[in-house]
Amino acid sequence: MAEDRSTLSSVERERASVFHSWSAQASINPLMVRSASGVTVTLEDGTSYLDFSSQLVNTNLGHQHPDVVAAIQAQAATLCTIAPQHGYESRYRAAEMILDHSFDGAAKVFFTNGGTESVEHAVRMARLHTGRFKVVAAYRSYHGATSTSITLTGDPRRWPNEQGSSGVVHFFGPYLYRSSYHSTTPEQEAERALASLDETIRFEGPSTIAAVILETVPGTAGVLLPPPGYLAGVREICDRYGIVFIADEVMAGFGRTGAWFAYQNYDVRPDLVTFAKGVNSGYVPLGGVVVNEAISHSFDDRVYPGGLTYSGHPLACAAAVATMEVMERDGVIEHAARVGNEIIAPELAAIAQRHPSVGEVRGIGVMHAVELVSDRATREPLAPYGSSSPAMNEVIAACRNEGLLIFANFNRLHVVPPCIIGEADLRDGLARLDRALATADRYYTGS
């Protein structure tokens, strides 16, 4: 017999019936959203928030962009769904546009439902292409939540999910602020991280390694910009040993770093590129793998053993086409680069000067991180690795009190608004963040 829920509030009904991801179910207290538009999210009670998180860093065109909504509606009126073995216009047009903005030698696009599946299939392709099994990934990374992708992940979410190595080997990538290599310059950090990667490969056996997978700019791990020469060095190491270089662009792609793909900022050519999120602003689930000519040709005369019922779903691909058309027409990529350079970076640098709790700010385009510490000299984080803290919880609450939705992880706040955010909203959001950081300063114990 159905339960009478009429006396329950909407949040009570949500908590009673929905199993939330990455959460202890008894402690969840979700914001109940009624609607969203542009860079604003409105709750059921009418409270509005400025979205500085792009949700999970995916609404690159903001919420309810009319052109993308219209494209989904038009596609739904013609063809809602069809099995992936058939061809259809929205899918090949999306693939063509993605390839047009990809690296030289990009040949085809394999579509998935999201980022984690993109990583699963990229690794499968690399293993089949090379005939090898091991994959090298970095600590301080996130590659997804399914079996292979969570094992590749280099953050604590891997720990309760990892049921075996699955051929995955981790190493420490570059992170100068908390260098594993005792570096004092970006050049040293690049050189030493590359030496570590090369040594790891040599000790694991180059002939056993199918791929190196890296987030071009690690996102959830802290917006860790690769130092000069690092990605070129990874490319050289992969070429030397015949290893496939997979660039994970799930978060960094489609305008987030002020380029179509983040690797384009660093003049490097990967072999496989995983994408999702910003390809259609997350309006309909979509991900994929950009495949180079050599790997694509591996499957000219043998069956690729993988597929998905919703691979390149018509509604998702129509949204992707519309998203990329808007990005091209309205100069969204260039806008993201400009506001990152001219507004976000200098404003965050000024915020760091005003707040002793800000240990470092870093970023590119509309992808920046504010690292909070309790002591600048020791760089003691305001929350321990792999966890939050009462101090960080209060800082996040202070952002909410300012009407600011912020992306937070461990001891960091990420400034990742939609790529289309206007200058006035951007400066307003940064001012709200500035005020909220007074809460972090109360926990500062350094001199």
Domain boundaries, the chain: 10-64+331-441, 67-329
Token readout for 195 is 């030496």
The fold adopted by the segment(s) 10-64+331-441 is Aspartate Aminotransferase, domain 1 (3.90.1150)
Within 13 Å and on the Cβ side, how many CA atoms surround 377? 3
- The yes-or-no verdict on residue 350 having pLDDT over 80 is yes
Q: Which of 25-34, 270-279, 367-376 has the lowest mean pLDDT?
A: 25-34
Do 232 and 267 touch, CB atoms closer than 8 A?
A: yes
Percentage of residues in the chain with pLDDT exceeding 90?
94
In this prediction the pTM is: 0.96
- The yes-or-no verdict on residue 7 having pLDDT over 80 is yes
Please, which pLDDT band fits residue 193 given cuts at 50, 70 and 90?
very high
The mean pLDDT value for 364-378 works out to 98
Express each pLDDT in 296-348 by its tens digit: 999 999 999 999 999 999 999 999 999 999 999 999 999 999 999 999 999 99
The mean pLDDT value for 83-110 works out to 98
Amino acid at position 319, single letter: A
- Phi, psi of 212, deg, nearest 5: -110, 125
Do 51 and 274 touch, CB atoms closer than 8 A?
A: no
Residues 191, 168: Cα–Cα separation, whole Å:
23
| Surface-to-core class of residue 22, CB atoms within 10 Å of its CB (0-12 exposed, 13-18 middle, 19+ buried) | exposed
- The yes-or-no verdict on residue 166 having pLDDT over 90 is no
Q: What value does the mean pLDDT of the chain take?
A: 96
Please, which pLDDT band fits residue 390 given cuts at 50, 70 and 90?
very high
Residues 93, 73: Cα–Cα separation, whole Å:
17
| Surface-to-core class of residue 349, CB atoms within 10 Å of its CB (0-12 exposed, 13-18 middle, 19+ buried) | exposed
Residue 4 is predicted with a pLDDT of 85
Token readout for 330 is 């309205």
The CATH classification number of 67-329 equals 3.40.640.10
Residues 291, 368: Cα–Cα separation, whole Å:
29
The mean pLDDT value for 102-128 works out to 98
Beta bridge mates, 375? 380
Do 57 and 407 touch, CB atoms closer than 8 A?
A: yes
Do 273 and 290 touch, CB atoms closer than 8 A?
A: yes
Please, which pLDDT band fits residue 165 given cuts at 50, 70 and 90?
low
Express each pLDDT in 251-305 by its tens digit: 999 999 999 999 999 999 999 999 999 999 999 999 999 999 999 999 999 999 9
